[in-house]
Chain A
Amino acid sequence: MRQILVKTERCLGCKSCELACSAIHSGSKDFLAAVLGGERSVRRVTVETNRENTVNIPVQCRQCREPKCVSACMTGAMYLDEATGLVLNREEKCVGCWMCVMVCPYGVIVPNEEEKKAVKCDQCLSGGHDPACVKACPTGAIEFIEISQFDKKRKQEFLTKFIAGEEA
């Protein structure tokens, strides 16, 4: 199962992922059209930074294996999809009670007040499971990749640096 993973040292905090997320979830799915049309599109990712502003990281749904939002959901809208491992919200069932918002430890479920729907990252499943934030990242900081692969690449990078004497 691929996950959205971040190389934080590459994140410049440009927020392109945020805009791409808003755009892909707008009616037109087109950034400029959405802005021109005055759409109030809700994004599912926020670029966070540490206290020193030295590390940036786009944060979106962590797709918990034991999701608090699913047990808190009183309508049965939120569920853990076994096939994809994603936590998904059936918007037609969601009434906007914000119980999921209340329990999400990462604060990444967004209350869409206008539509009265909780919105969250579904890794762009409906758009072919090809996350817009990943495509939008100009530095390649956000990857959609198997965790094992990500680990492997990280190890290789470390060893390359280690051999070059750059890493103590």
Chain B
Amino acid sequence: MENLKKTIDTAAGKMIAKAATEGIETVWDRFEAQQPQCGFGLTGLCCRHCNQGPCRIDPFGDGPQYGVCGADADLIVARNLLRQVAAGAAAHVDHAYEAVETLAAAAGGSAAYSVRDRDKLLAVAGKLGIETENKSETDIAKEIVGIARSDFGNHSGSPIKWLVATAPEERVATWSKLGVLPRNPDREIREALHQTTMGMDADPVNLILATVKQGLVDGYAGLQLGTDIQDILFGIPSPVVAEANLGVLREDHVNIVVHGHEPMLSEKIVEWAHKLSGEAQAVGAQGIQLAGVCCTGNEILMRQGVDMASNFLAQELAIITGAVDAMVVDVQCIMPSLARVAACYHTKIFTTSPIVKMPGAEHIDFTLDEADRKAEEIVRKAIENYRRRDRSRVDIPDVKTKMMAGFSVEAIVAALAKLDAGNPLKPLVDNIANGSILGAVGTVGCNNVKVAQDSFHVNMVKELVKNNILVVTTGCSAQALAKAGLMTPEATEKYAGDTLKAVLTAVGNAAGIGAPLPPVLHMGSCVDNSRIGDLLTALAGYLKVSIKDLPVAASAPEHQHEKALSIGTWAVSLGLLTHLGIVPQLVGGKKVTEILTGDTAESLLGGRFYVETDPIKAAHGLIEHIKSKRKALGI
């Protein structure tokens, strides 16, 4: 594989070359070794749900068309998809549950955590219908925890409260009519596993509806619940300036990279890194440099302005700089190869979750009770490890870009309020209506080794902003776009279409930046996709239309994780055209594919999946969709 086919990130490219020279295997080597990948798996036509299998359906029709149990291609694909989406939802719900537990700890008098954002506390209490007058923050927090827990303990048929409190009524009615309103996140995930075992549901359509339900579990008991609670605990993000890419690592600093998804530990690491920077000097370093990978990085970037090291595909490459003294991981997207790569250097990998352990890594069991002690221990060990760094093997690529982040809905509204304090959404809506902003696309999700790292995100988004589409972004997509320099005022000058540029300049000037807003707004981590949901809900409410009627679309250009499918399913359920840049493992089921990408999904939900593997074509597919929505709105 040529390097250009591996990444468009020059820092990553340099580290890939370094890895090759040093004989260290990376994700790209393993991908190449995996070629060819099994076509049955690629198309979702392999079933391993029972021990009579594995069964495979020939997608070209020459071979068997039924599995041993009698399942056909569509049934196998639909079952596999439901399991994938349920697994993705499980990840987000488990994450959100940790956040709830943390808020419970804070309300219970934990020394480590507290309610940092009263505004969010009140806002969440408000939407949940909690009386707040004359109540202490702790009491309100306890009530919020109570409602969250009651969703997990809901044994009735009523829908998840968090969903009903958050989603637009029109959507709730639509989902109710389809019978897909989830009751209790844990119960729904359990049911999905049951539904897909041998000898259960044989109706692909029923399985797709169950998949939609999992999308809603993900959206409201995962993303929304997680972000709401995390904002209460750690603050609503507001615009910050930071730097992105491996060049943020410093040769003369103790470098600690945090990687994973939850902010509960990484927030503590940030605290302790500040507290112990003096000790770093004691071992000969100038201080402690923190940098994030994946969404835990996004969480502390959004709220604390911590620099970003890179995104998913470059996690090994951070270690290959030779300059990382500790990589602290929590949950999700952590490559099992990290310990092997780290073993080639002095780098220590600290696993912290009881469900994420890794041979060759040091496990420090992170608990809410001992949050400070564990975070301190990790930072101290990182500092200590700085001594072991082999300077001859350090090569930090001199590549980093400036970036703006922190665009929570609240921050966006605040910026717009500078233009119209009484009616902050009006300037945005007016500019959409007059066509200065043609529409908006949310780009989310991962890197995937099947495409050159970041290339799809960056090429598609450049094409979108050129066509006056405002881009909001989260996750590894945000990190890709940040590294490509798309989160700077200069990017607006360079890449945005003229009318979009004018709007962003006006908002930027009014907000006191003295320069345009970036054409791509970083809205946070993967769970922060709920922020995009909130923004759409607000816009739809303002315009008194359904989300499905807005001139907007979603895209997961380089998705790899099951979570991305769950988020995508939620997005489709919200009524969004949802683009996938990599063919999902379901196209062997013709009917299932047709339903998800065609009129059926659109007529039932207003949204559908859209698979296009060329970034420029995808951009234009999204633009066409936005234009058709504009036309329907009469703008």
Report A's interface with B, CB cutoff 8 A: 14-16, 18-20, 22-23, 31-32, 34-36, 38-43, 46, 110, 135-136, 138
**Complex Cα–Cα for A34 and B39 (A):** 11
Per CB-CB distance, the 3 closest pairs between chain A and chain B, nearest first, are A19-B39, A22-B60, A136-B36
Q: Is the CB of A20 within 8 A of B58?
A: no
Assess A23 versus B38: contact at CB under 8 Å? Given A18-B63, A36-B611, A40-B60: no
Q: Is the CB of B43 within 8 A of A20?
A: no
**Complex Cα–Cα for A34 and B59 (A):** 9
Q: Is the CB of A36 within 8 A of B38?
A: no
Q: Is the CB of B42 within 8 A of A31?
A: yes
Decide if B56 is an interface residue (CB 8 Å cutoff): yes
**Complex Cα–Cα for A20 and B148 (A):** 50
Q: Is the CB of B587 within 8 A of A16?
A: no
Interface residues of B in 19-74 (CB under 8 A from A): 36, 38-40, 42-43, 56, 58-63
Q: Is the CB of B39 within 8 A of A20?
A: yes
Decide if B588 is an interface residue (CB 8 Å cutoff): yes
Q: Is the CB of B587 within 8 A of A36?
A: yes
Name the A residues within 8 Å of B593 (CB-CB): 36
**Complex Cα–Cα for A36 and B613 (A):** 12
Chosen A-B contacts, 15 in total, with CB atoms closer than 8 Å, are A14-B40, A16-B39, A18-B58, A19-B60, A22-B62, A31-B42, A35-B60, A36-B583, A36-B587, A36-B611, A39-B60, A42-B60, A43-B60, A43-B62, A136-B36
Q: Is the CB of A35 within 8 A of B56?
A: no
Q: Is the CB of A15 within 8 A of B40?
A: yes
Assess A35 versus B61: contact at CB under 8 Å? Given A14-B38, A15-B40, A20-B36: no
Interface residues of B in 559-606 (CB under 8 A from A): 583, 587-588, 590, 593
Name the A residues within 8 Å of B583 (CB-CB): 32, 36
**Complex Cα–Cα for A22 and B588 (A):** 14
Q: Is the CB of A16 within 8 A of B36?
A: yes
Residue of B whose beta carbon sits closest to that of A34: B60
**Complex Cα–Cα for A43 and B39 (A):** 14
Name the B residues within 8 Å of A38 (CB-CB): 590
New A-B contacts (4) at CB < 8 Å, excluding given A15-B63, A16-B38, A20-B36: A19-B59, A38-B590, A40-B60, A43-B60
Partner of B39 from the list A23, A36, A135 (CB cut-off 8 Å) is A23
Name the B residues within 8 Å of A138 (CB-CB): 36, 38
Name the A residues within 8 Å of B63 (CB-CB): 15, 18
A21–chain B nearest beta-carbon distance, Å: 9
**Complex Cα–Cα for A31 and B41 (A):** 12
Per-position 1/0 for B403-419, Cβ under 8 A of A: 00000000000000000
Q: Is the CB of B38 within 8 A of A32?
A: no
Residue of A whose beta carbon sits closest to that of B34: A138
Partner of B587 from the list A18, A20, A35, A41 (CB cut-off 8 Å) is A35
B58–chain A nearest beta-carbon distance, Å: 7
Q: Is the CB of A32 within 8 A of B36?
A: no
Q: How many A-B residue pairs have CB under 8 A?
A: 53
Q: Is the CB of A35 within 8 A of B43?
A: yes
**Complex Cα–Cα for A34 and B62 (A):** 14
Name the B residues within 8 Å of A40 (CB-CB): 60-61
Q: Is the CB of A32 within 8 A of B60?
A: no
Q: Is the CB of A35 within 8 A of B38?
A: no
**Complex Cα–Cα for A40 and B58 (A):** 11
B507–chain A nearest beta-carbon distance, Å: 41
Residue of A whose beta carbon sits closest to that of B33: A138
A114–chain B nearest beta-carbon distance, Å: 11
Residue of A whose beta carbon sits closest to that of B62: A43
Name the B residues within 8 Å of A42 (CB-CB): 60, 62
Residue of B whose beta carbon sits closest to that of A137: B36
A39–chain B nearest beta-carbon distance, Å: 8
B386–chain A nearest beta-carbon distance, Å: 43
Name the B residues within 8 Å of A34 (CB-CB): 60
A78–chain B nearest beta-carbon distance, Å: 21
Name the A residues within 8 Å of B590 (CB-CB): 38
B53–chain A nearest beta-carbon distance, Å: 13
A15–chain B nearest beta-carbon distance, Å: 7
Name the A residues within 8 Å of B61 (CB-CB): 40
Name the A residues within 8 Å of B58 (CB-CB): 15, 18
**Complex Cα–Cα for A89 and B130 (A):** 78
**Complex Cα–Cα for A43 and B58 (A):** 11
Assess A15 versus B62: contact at CB under 8 Å? Given A23-B39, A35-B587, A138-B36: no
Name the B residues within 8 Å of A16 (CB-CB): 36, 38-39
B64–chain A nearest beta-carbon distance, Å: 10
Interface residues of B in 106-120 (CB under 8 A from A): none
A67–chain B nearest beta-carbon distance, Å: 23
Between B38, B39, B56, B60, the greatest number of chain A beta carbons within 10 A of the residue's beta carbon is seen for: B60
Name the A residues within 8 Å of B40 (CB-CB): 14-15, 19
Interface residues of B in 62-97 (CB under 8 A from A): 62-63
Name the B residues within 8 Å of A46 (CB-CB): 62
Name the A residues within 8 Å of B59 (CB-CB): 19, 22, 35
Q: Is the CB of B43 within 8 A of A135?
A: no
A120–chain B nearest beta-carbon distance, Å: 14
**Complex Cα–Cα for A19 and B61 (A):** 11
Interface residues of B in 399-446 (CB under 8 A from A): none
B485–chain A nearest beta-carbon distance, Å: 32
B158–chain A nearest beta-carbon distance, Å: 41
Q: Is the CB of B62 within 8 A of A32?
A: no
**Complex Cα–Cα for A42 and B61 (A):** 9
Residue of B whose beta carbon sits closest to that of A25: B60
Name the A residues within 8 Å of B42 (CB-CB): 31-32
Name the B residues within 8 Å of A31 (CB-CB): 39, 42
**Complex Cα–Cα for A20 and B38 (A):** 9
B223–chain A nearest beta-carbon distance, Å: 29
Partner of B43 from the list A18, A32, A43, A136 (CB cut-off 8 Å) is A32
B432–chain A nearest beta-carbon distance, Å: 33
**Complex Cα–Cα for A43 and B63 (A):** 10
A161–chain B nearest beta-carbon distance, Å: 26
**Complex Cα–Cα for A38 and B588 (A):** 9
**Complex Cα–Cα for A95 and B20 (A):** 54
Residue of A whose beta carbon sits closest to that of B46: A14
Q: Is the CB of B62 within 8 A of A18?
A: yes
**Complex Cα–Cα for A164 and B593 (A):** 54
Name the B residues within 8 Å of A136 (CB-CB): 36
Residue of A whose beta carbon sits closest to that of B39: A19
**Complex Cα–Cα for A16 and B28 (A):** 22
Residue of A whose beta carbon sits closest to that of B582: A32
Q: Is the CB of A135 within 8 A of B60?
A: no
**Complex Cα–Cα for A37 and B81 (A):** 20
Name the B residues within 8 Å of A32 (CB-CB): 42-43, 583, 587
**Complex Cα–Cα for A23 and B590 (A):** 17
Between B61, B62, B588, the greatest number of chain A beta carbons within 10 A of the residue's beta carbon is seen for: B62
Name the B residues within 8 Å of A18 (CB-CB): 58, 62-63
Q: Is the CB of B587 within 8 A of A135?
A: no
B593–chain A nearest beta-carbon distance, Å: 8
Name the B residues within 8 Å of A19 (CB-CB): 39-40, 59-60
